[in-house]
Amino acid sequence: MTRTDVNSLGEFGLIDHLTRDLQTLQQSTIHGVGDDAAVIDIGDQYLLASSDALIEGIHFDMMYTPLKHLGYKSVVVNLSDICAMNGKPQQILVNIAISNRYSVEAMDELYAGIKLACEKYNVDLVGGDMTSSPKGLVISITALGRVDKDKIALRSGAKEGDIVCITGDLGAAYLGLQILEREKQIHIDHPGVQPELDDHDYLIKRLLKPEARLDMIEQFAHVNLVPTSMIDISDGLASELFHIARSSDVGFLIEENGVPINMKAQEQALNFKIDPITCALSGGEDYELLFTIKPEDVDKVRFMPDIYLAGDVLAASEGVKLSTKGGNIHALKAQGWNHFDTNA
- In the region spanning residues 113 to 152, those forming contacts with its own copies, defined by CB under 8 A, are 115, 118-119, 122-136, 138, 140, 142, 144, 146
- Of 97 and 310, nearer to its own copies (C-beta) is 97
CA distance 60 to 10: 19
* Least distance (Å) between residue 234 CB and its own copies: 10
CA distance 39 to 321: 30
- Of 43 and 305, nearer to its own copies (C-beta) is 43
* Least distance (Å) between residue 161 CB and its own copies: 31
Rounded alpha-carbon distances, angstroms, from residue 342 to 59, 211, 284, 317: 11, 26, 16, 34
- In the set 62, 66, 111, 306, which binds its own copies (CB under 8 A)? 111
The answer to whether residues 72 and 66 touch, using CB atoms and an 8 Å cutoff, is no
* Least distance (Å) between residue 331 CB and its own copies: 28
For residue 96, the cross-strand partners are: 130, 139
* Least distance (Å) between residue 77 CB and its own copies: 10
- Of 130 and 298, nearer to its own copies (C-beta) is 130
63 binds its own copies (CB under 8 A): no
- Number of chain residues interacting with its own copies (CB under 8 A): 86
- Of 22 and 331, nearer to its own copies (C-beta) is 22
CA distance 232 to 48: 15
* Least distance (Å) between residue 40 CB and its own copies: 6
* Least distance (Å) between residue 337 CB and its own copies: 9
66 binds its own copies (CB under 8 A): no
Contacts of 16 (CB under 8 A, 6+ apart): 9
194 binds its own copies (CB under 8 A): no
* Binders of its own copies in range 258-277 (CB under 8 A): none
- Of 129 and 201, nearer to its own copies (C-beta) is 129
- Of 135 and 182, nearer to its own copies (C-beta) is 135
- Of 49 and 290, nearer to its own copies (C-beta) is 49
* Least distance (Å) between residue 48 CB and its own copies: 10
Residue from 307, 308, 306, 314 nearest 331 by CA? 314
- In the set 7, 185, 257, 271, which binds its own copies (CB under 8 A)? 7
DSSP structural state of residue 58: T
* Least distance (Å) between residue 143 CB and its own copies: 10
Residue from 220, 227, 212 nearest 122 by CA? 212
316 binds its own copies (CB under 8 A): no
* Binders of its own copies in range 70-109 (CB under 8 A): 90-91, 93-95, 97-105, 107-108
Q: Do the strands 250-255 and 307-315 form a parallel or antiparallel pair, or are they unpaired?
A: antiparallel
CA distance 335 to 333: 6
The answer to whether residues 162 and 228 touch, using CB atoms and an 8 Å cutoff, is yes
CA distance 176 to 198: 12
* Least distance (Å) between residue 211 CB and its own copies: 18
CA distance 295 to 162: 6
**3-class DSSP assignment, residue 318:** helix
DSSP structural state of residue 238: H
Neighbours of 221 (CB within 10 A): 14
**3-class DSSP assignment, residue 187:** helix
* Binders of its own copies in range 18-57 (CB under 8 A): 18-19, 22, 24-26, 28-29, 31-33, 37-38, 40, 42-44, 47, 49-53, 55-57
